[in-house]
């Protein structure tokens, strides 16, 4: 157990109590992101995180229960019924997500086409390849049964689209360039064991690469920055998401 | 008396909660009503304890339950039970209100031990298992040291940051952090139970079999 690990444990406990400072409280802020990134690759801390959250929920019961005014439920129901459009938007979150992802891809695609028009012939093949990849990602996202996992990192977002049959693509827009000599590595973490999936680099801020992966519930999808393809992550993920 | 427990069983309440969330995500208003009945009094109690303003506390509960309806599909069981997800939202929003509205002036200046411990079965409608757990929590808290209880009181029920707790208790920030972790671990040990991201288990002797009203007879 080292000092950094002790600090993370203390951070997890304070976070569970909502005692983290200063701002961004109650939202997925930098501290929570730091914790989530850490627990994606640290099973003891993941267990502690869950323990602390459940203990905080127990601590909530230290406050005496209050009689609930009878009209409160009616007010809540009136609000959710009165927000039909809003509620419908959330209930259709999957299709909306597909639509927004598709829209993002289309923007990239449009940008690619604009670039296509002005690039010298030597770059045409590169743009064409990138556009073809984006079209493939678009087709995959729009297919029934395709699921997505969003990896939000500092300054960029990657989306993993995958089907039950194992067909998958990792793609994203405005992905920041990684340091010279380094690339991004995609991981599937199952049972605390990371398995390398793909090694790639953003091309003009765009990632659109087919990958072989069959994620399941409780798996963690993570991305690290590596100097070369490795079979074990050399550091903490820059982004991670747990699948449900 | 709460104490370390060895026999763990799957918490069927958590399975039921998760079923409700899935039905709410599919637009189930009846499931929403059931979840509301299960947790509204606990949620309001927590919000009121943090904010000490009944109107603002009701606003928080309303906001959280509307959010539950809208975002049920985003519930991630890998990050905690439904109970912890819901009550954490209540706590977050209540503390946001306190910090935003400077509601400290309205709050009672009572340490946790001085908060009136009302008999929930007489004043509120609360499910037996939740009332039973509440009793366990109160007993467990009573076994913590005064210092540990105070750090949890200030950080959680008064919504203070770790730095604010340090100032309030006049102890170094590092001590606050280590004491917070120790207190939470102690509380977890005393209450038993675990959550592995899929199933929640509870200590066998914490399984509620009688309501607190029945216990009084």
In tens, the pLDDT along B3-32 reads: 444 455 556 778 889 899 999 988 889 999
**Strand arrangement of the beta sheet that strand B8-10 belongs to:** B8-10, B200-203, B194-195
Report helix, strand or coil for A120: coil
Q: Mind telling me how many Å the CA of B162 is from chain A's nearest CA? A: 6
Query: Angle at the Cα of A31 (from A25 to A37), degrees rounded to 5?
Result: 135
Which of A2-16, A97-111, A230-244, B25-39 is most confident? B25-39
Sequence-distant (6+) residues with CB within 8 A of B68 are B21, B24, B32, B35, B86, B89
pLDDT at B103: 42
Query: Look-up: residue for tokens 């990684």?
Result: A178
ipTM above 0.90, yes or no: no
The interaxial angle of helices B162-169 and B173-191, nearest 10 deg, is 100
Sequence-distant (6+) residues with CB within 8 A of A100 are none
Q: Quote the DSSP letter at residue B104.
A: G
Q: Write the burial class of residue A56 (CB in 10 Å: 0-12 exposed, 13-18 middle, 19+ buried).
A: buried
CA dihedral A114, A118, A122, A126 (to 10 degrees): -10
Residue of A nearest to B113 (CA): A62
Q: Quote the DSSP letter at residue A143.
A: S
Q: Which residues of A touch B71 (CB under 8 A)?
A: 90
Percent of chain B with pLDDT over 90: 48
Contact residues, B window 41-80, toward A, CB-based 8 Å cutoff = 41-42, 44-46, 48-50, 57-58, 61-62, 65-66, 69-71, 73-80
Q: What are phi and psi of B194, to 5 degrees?
A: -155, 170
Q: How far is CA B132 from the centre of its chain?
A: 13
Cα four-point dihedral sign A80, A85, A91, A96: negative
Optimal mutation site among A6, A8, A17, A53, interface B, most CBs of chain B within 10 A? A17
The pTM assigned to this predicted structure is 0.58
Minimal Cβ distance to A18: which of B75, B118, B159: B159
Minimal Cβ distance to A54: which of B81, B120, B131: B81
Q: CB-hemisphere CA count at 13 Å for B30? A: 1
- Interface check for B91 against chain A (CB to CB < 8 A): the answer is yes
pLDDT at B100: 76
Q: Which residues of A touch B178 (CB under 8 A)?
A: 10
How far apart CA A186 and CA A195 sit, in angstroms, is 9
Which segments within chain B are labelled E, that is strand?
8-10, 194-195, 200-203
Q: How far is CA A15 from the centre of its chain?
A: 20
Contact B180 A10 (CB under 8 A): yes
What is the mean predicted confidence (pLDDT) over B162-169? 93
Cα four-point dihedral sign B132, B138, B141, B143: negative
Interval B57-92: pLDDT, tens: 999 999 999 999 988 888 888 878 999 999 999 999
Q: What is the mean pLDDT of chain B?
A: 79
Sequence-distant (6+) residues with CB within 8 A of B156 are A17, A18, A19, A56, A59, A62, B91
The interaxial angle of helices A121-141 and A93-118, nearest 10 deg, is 170
Minimal Cβ distance to B45: which of A55, A63, A86: A63
Contact B83 A57 (CB under 8 A): yes
Interval A214-232: pLDDT, tens: 888 778 888 888 888 888 8
How far apart CA A164 and CA A124 sit, in angstroms, is 34
Contact B73 A77 (CB under 8 A): no
Q: Which of B178, B205, B145, B170 is nearest to B6 (CA)?
A: B205
- Interface check for B28 against chain A (CB to CB < 8 A): the answer is no
A198: preceding bond cis by omega (within 30 degrees): no
Residue of A nearest to B202 (CA): A54
Q: Which residues of B touch A91 (CB under 8 A)?
A: 25-27, 73
Minimal Cβ distance to A10: which of B26, B89, B178: B178
Q: Which residues of A touch B143 (CB under 8 A)?
A: none
Optimal mutation site among A60, A81, A83, A244, interface B, most CBs of chain B within 10 A? A60
């Amino acid at each position: 157990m080292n000092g950094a690990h002790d600090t993370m444990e203390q951070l997890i406990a304070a976070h569970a109590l909502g005692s983290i400072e200063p701002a961004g409280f109650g939202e997925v802020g930098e501290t929570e992101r730091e914790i989530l990134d850490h627990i994606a690759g640290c099973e003891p801390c993941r267990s502690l995180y869950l323990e602390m959250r459940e203990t905080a929920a127990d601590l909530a019961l230290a406050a005496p229960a209050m009689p609930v005014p009878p009209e409160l439920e009616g007010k809540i129901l009136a609000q959710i019924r009165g927000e039909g459009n809003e509620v419908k938007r959330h209930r259709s979150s999957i299709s909306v997500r597909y639509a927004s992802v598709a829209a993002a891809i289309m923007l990239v695609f449009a940008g690619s086409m604009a670039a296509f028009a002005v690039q010298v012939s030597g770059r045409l093949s590169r743009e064409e390849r990138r556009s073809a990849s984006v079209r493939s990602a678009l087709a995959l996202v729009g297919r029934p049964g395709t699921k997505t996992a969003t990896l939000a990192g500092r300054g960029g977002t990657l989306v993993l689209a995958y089907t039950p049959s194992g067909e998958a693509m990792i793609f994203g827009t405005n992905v920041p360039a990684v340091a010279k000599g380094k690339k991004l590595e995609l991981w599937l973490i199952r049972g605390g064991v990371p398995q390398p999936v793909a090694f790639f680099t953003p091309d003009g801020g765009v990632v659109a690469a087919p990958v072989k992966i069959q994620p399941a519930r409780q798996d963690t999808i993570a991305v690290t920055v590596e100097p070369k393809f490795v079979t074990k992550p050399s550091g903490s993920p820059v982004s991670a998401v747990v699948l449900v | 008396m709460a104490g370390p427990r060895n026999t763990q069983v799957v918490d069927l309440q958590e399975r039921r909660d998760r079923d409700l969330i899935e039905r709410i995500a599919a637009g189930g208003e009846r499931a929403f009503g059931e979840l509301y009945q299960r947790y509204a009094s606990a949620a309001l109690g927590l919000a009121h304890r943090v904010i000490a303003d009944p109107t603002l506390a009701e606003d928080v509960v309303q906001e959280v339950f509307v959010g539950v309806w809208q975002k049920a599909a985003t519930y991630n069981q890998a990050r905690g039970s439904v109970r912890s997800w819901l009550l954490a939202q209540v706590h977050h929003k209540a503390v946001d209100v306190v910090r935003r509205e400077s509601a400290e002036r309205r709050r009672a200046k009572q340490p946790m031990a001085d908060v009136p411990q009302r008999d929930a079965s007489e004043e509120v409608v609360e499910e037996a298992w939740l009332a039973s757990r509440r009793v366990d929590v109160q007993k467990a808290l009573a076994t913590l040291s005064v210092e540990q209880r105070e750090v949890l009181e200030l950080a959680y029920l008064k919504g203070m940051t770790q730095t604010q707790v340090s100032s309030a208790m006049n102890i170094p920030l590092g001590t606050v952090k280590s004491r917070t972790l120790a207190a939470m671990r102690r509380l977890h040990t005393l209450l038993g139970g675990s959550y592995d991201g899929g199933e929640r288990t509870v200590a066998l002797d914490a399984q509620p079999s009688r309501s607190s009203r029945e216990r009084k007879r």
